Amino acid sequence: MPTDTPTHASDDHPHLTGMALLDEPAYNRGTAFTEAQRTALGLDGLLPPMVESLDQQVNRAYKAFRRKDDNLERHIYLRQLQDTNETLFYRLLLDHVEEMAPVVYTPTVGQACEQFSEIYRRPRGLFIPYPQRDKIAQMLRNRPHRDMAVSVVTDGERILGLGDQGVGGMSIPIGKLSLYTLIGGIPPEKTLPIVLDVGTNNEERLRDPEYLGWHHERIEDSAYYDFVDQFVQAVKKEFPETLLLQWEDFATKHARPLLERYQDQLLTFNDDIQGTAAVVLSCVLAGMTVAGKKLGEQDIIFLGAGSAATGVAGYLLAAMQDNGLSEKEARSRIFFVDINGVLHTGRTDLSDEQQAFAQPAERVASWPKTIRGHTGLADVISQSNPGVLIGLSTVAGAFTEDIVRALARKTERPLIFPLSNPTSRAEAKAEDLVRWTDGRALVATGSPFAPVEHEGRKVTIAQCNNVLIFPAVGLGLRASRARRVTDAMLIAAGRELARHSPALRDPTAALLPPLGELRDIAREVAFAVGREAQRAGVAPEVGSEDEFRVQIAVSQWAPSYPAAT
Ligand code: NAI
């Protein structure tokens, strides 16, 4: 299958010559320009005489990367390389993906957000500040390249676990789009990071004279929603309907309202809500297969009933219905426990989203209430038929030895996913889960955990990270020329990813594939996404399945220089 279709050459921009060409990261090849190209493109004298291959450039860049003392310095180095020569940047990343993805993206990107103003060097993406809201259309037109495929937008309010970073949030769309390119093969010059600068409530930033964002507290309520709407309407006018606009790291109070408002207006999705739900669904499906169970046969218990948990439950509910359960049956299989105990219809403190997952009050009325007078996690485990325990509660150590042993008495292969981030908030440590269940637990975590030694074998722990889903979804949307993102498309992505679980082939392997395999798997996931888009009528029909597979393969950009002309 042809996957390496080079589209990234100075030949695409014949008008760029001399320093202007060397300053353009999308087309610059640096020392790899051949002698003939140097003469033809006005580069003679501007480069040292040695002509390098891409491999030689990668070796040199890797050594420079290793010379840096810490991960933030390595992040700065890679960002500079990205702003100099994107082909080299992506080849380096591809060759060292396991080592470099955490430096380009989480966790190091968190530091890059916090120190954005100190480490800022060159422009990348678009900054759209509230005071300049009358110029949004002009700002969109000022983008560096015409033809865009994917834009990631943030307002910087809920950056990872770091809260409000204001304009510093820009590092997140930049990092995320790097992964869209690295894994999904979205050509780098077709990616557009955007930050909506609506101010910040971060006191430290507001007091800092060097903070590069708008020095103002956040605008709220209708002023906020009107501004976002001005932005979205300008995007719809300026770009074709095949531009994917991905919402990223918006505060919980804004994330779902914005998604609900715009998901039927343009090609858009929220990765924190939908990407998370898809990847956790994938972990559950893979784990169920390894456990020899079907989704819907056992109960699923969530600890924590926040936005992440209800989003995941929504996809599990849909997947159970796909498996033939009625909605009522599926709902009866999902239990939520929050700080006030099990969610039931008699509670008056629940949001609409939580009410939808509340069990009938009469069902749980007679259950034990051993946690401060409430029916807590241990009580629900004792009364139900659990197979899956998912932690999205932010409560470190909430999956105690007693809880885990009680669960492991009820099922042979319990799926236990402490997903709260960062590591200090995880509901349990991976090694404890393996030990307390005598190696029977199938574990996936939110933060990374080292492999666990158990009775002479090494158990690899899957990290339930959205990077397993969103780049592939981007590829599928681009290749299928979809006009809308539906939940069914994300669920199809989660199902397809589950089929590539290494644990299906080797029971001690992780539930999810390693980063190094994701580019290949992305094509399969993209196929599933695109087929669902076609089925739903939100993407044009393509000929045969084979033709669509070829379309996906040629859409997946790979970093290489086209043969010298
Ligand atoms: P949230 O603050 O909206 O929800 C937290 C929930 O936990 C609330 O329902 C709260 O009542 C419950 N809770 C708090 N203390 C509790 C206790 N002692 N016992 C039982 N329940 C308790 O937070 P959100 O956004 O839903 O995120 C939760 C966690 O999930 C975070 O740590 C976040 O980092 C993590 N997360 C992980 C993802 C992944 O692994 N891919 C994706 C999204 C979130």
Helix ranges restricted to H, 43-150:
54-67, 71-82, 86-95, 97-104, 108-114, 116-119, 136-141
- Tell me how far the alpha carbon of residue 325 lies from the centroid of ligand 1, in angstroms: 28
Active site residue 410: no
Whose CA is closest to 422, among 478, 369, 463? 463
pLDDT of residue 508: 84
Query: Which is the closest atom of ligand 1 to the Cα of 419?
Result: 40
Alpha-carbon distance values, 291 to 174, 186, 294, 315, 507 (Å): 39, 36, 9, 20, 10
Span 509-531, average pLDDT: 97
- Tell me how far the alpha carbon of residue 419 lies from the centroid of ligand 1, in angstroms: 8
pLDDT of residue 564: 54
- Tell me how far the alpha carbon of residue 389 lies from the centroid of ligand 1, in angstroms: 14
pLDDT band at residue 563 using 50, 70 and 90 as cut-offs: confident
Phi and psi, residue 244, nearest 5°: -85, 125
Share of the chain above pLDDT 90, in %: 92
Query: Which residue out of 27, 90, 105, 211 is catalytically annotated?
Result: 105
27-44 pLDDT per residue, tens: 999 999 999 999 999 999
Alpha-carbon distance values, 360 to 333, 345, 364, 451, 529 (Å): 12, 5, 7, 41, 35
Query: Which is the closest atom of ligand 1 to the Cα of 279?
Result: 41
Q: What is the DSSP letter of 562?
A: P
Query: Which is the closest atom of ligand 1 to the Cα of 310?
Result: 26
CATH H-level, domain 274-467: superfamily: NAD(P)-binding Rossmann-like Domain (3.40.50.720)
Task: Give the pairing of strands 244-247 and 268-270.
Answer: parallel
Residues 6+ away with beta carbon under 8 Å from 165: 113, 114, 116, 156, 159, 200, 202, 205
pLDDT of residue 423: 86
Q: Give just the sign of the alpha carbon dihedral 206, 209, 210, 215.
A: positive
Q: Is 350 in the pocket of ligand 1 (CB under 6 A)?
A: no
165-209 pLDDT per residue, tens: 999 999 999 999 999 999 999 999 999 999 999 999 999 999 999
Query: Which is the closest atom of ligand 1 to the Cα of 445?
Result: 40
Phi and psi, residue 246, nearest 5°: -105, 125
Taking the model in full, what pTM does it have? 0.94
Beta carbons within 10 angstroms of residue 289's beta carbon: 17
Are 146 and 516 spatial neighbours (Cβ–Cβ below 8 Å)? no
Q: At what angle do helices 470-480 and 518-535 cross, to 10 degrees?
A: 50
Ligand 1, atom 40: nearest CA belongs to which residue?
446
Q: Which two three-digit tokens encode residue 221?
A: 């309520």
pLDDT of residue 139: 98
- Tell me how far the alpha carbon of residue 425 lies from the centroid of ligand 1, in angstroms: 9
Span 46-66, average pLDDT: 98
Q: How far apart are CA 309 and CA 311, in angstroms?
A: 5
Strand, helix or coil for residue 299 = strand
Please state, rounded to an integer, the average pLDDT across all residues of the chain.
95
pLDDT of residue 189: 96
Q: Is 255 in the pocket of ligand 1 (CB under 6 A)?
A: no
Q: Is 462 in the pocket of ligand 1 (CB under 6 A)?
A: no
Q: Is 392 in the pocket of ligand 1 (CB under 6 A)?
A: yes
439-463 pLDDT per residue, tens: 999 999 998 899 999 999 999 999 9
Cα angle, residue 101 at apex, residues 99 and 107 outer, rounded to 5°: 100
Strand, helix or coil for residue 235 = helix
Q: Is 270 in the pocket of ligand 1 (CB under 6 A)?
A: no
Q: Is 396 in the pocket of ligand 1 (CB under 6 A)?
A: no
pLDDT band at residue 9 using 50, 70 and 90 as cut-offs: very low
pLDDT of residue 565: 47
257-277 pLDDT per residue, tens: 999 999 999 999 999 999 999
Q: How far apart are CA 174 and CA 228, in angstroms?
A: 20
All structural domains of the chain with their residue ranges: 274-467
Alpha-carbon distance values, 257 to 44, 159, 491 (Å): 55, 18, 21
Q: Given ligand 1 and candidates 252, 338, 466, which is best to mutate, with the most ligand atoms within 8 Å of its CB?
A: 338
pLDDT of residue 15: 84
Q: Which residue has the tokens 């090494």?
A: 458
Q: How far apart are CA 192 and CA 231, in angstroms?
A: 14
Strand, helix or coil for residue 197 = strand
Burial of 396 (0-12, 13-18, 19+ CB in 10 A): middle
pLDDT of residue 161: 79
Q: How far apart are CA 375 and CA 396, in angstroms?
A: 20
Active site residue 294: no
Strand, helix or coil for residue 106 = coil
Tell me: pLDDT of 14 over 80. no
Q: Is 305 in the pocket of ligand 1 (CB under 6 A)?
A: yes
Residue 107: asked if its preceding bond is cis (omega within 30°), the reply is yes
* Amino acid at the residue 229: D
Q: Is 303 in the pocket of ligand 1 (CB under 6 A)?
A: yes
Tell me: pLDDT of 357 over 90. yes
Q: Is 420 in the pocket of ligand 1 (CB under 6 A)?
A: yes
Q: How far apart are CA 152 and CA 497, in angstroms?
A: 23
Burial of 181 (0-12, 13-18, 19+ CB in 10 A): buried
Q: Is 182 in the pocket of ligand 1 (CB under 6 A)?
A: no
105-159 pLDDT per residue, tens: 988 999 999 999 999 999 999 999 999 999 999 999 999 999 999 999 999 999 9
Q: What is the DSSP letter of 504?
A: G
Share of the chain above pLDDT 70, in %: 97
pLDDT of residue 13: 55
Ligand 1, atom 15: nearest CA belongs to which residue?
339
Cα angle, residue 269 at apex, residues 329 and 516 outer, rounded to 5°: 95
Query: Which residue out of 27, 90, 130, 176 is catalytically annotated?
Result: 176
Q: Is 421 in the pocket of ligand 1 (CB under 6 A)?
A: yes
Query: Which is the closest atom of ligand 1 to the Cα of 420?
Result: 32
Q: Which two three-digit tokens encode residue 241?
A: 């309907």
Span 4-26, average pLDDT: 70
- Tell me how far the alpha carbon of residue 253 lies from the centroid of ligand 1, in angstroms: 14
pLDDT band at residue 11 using 50, 70 and 90 as cut-offs: very low
Whose CA is closest to 532, among 456, 477, 452? 477
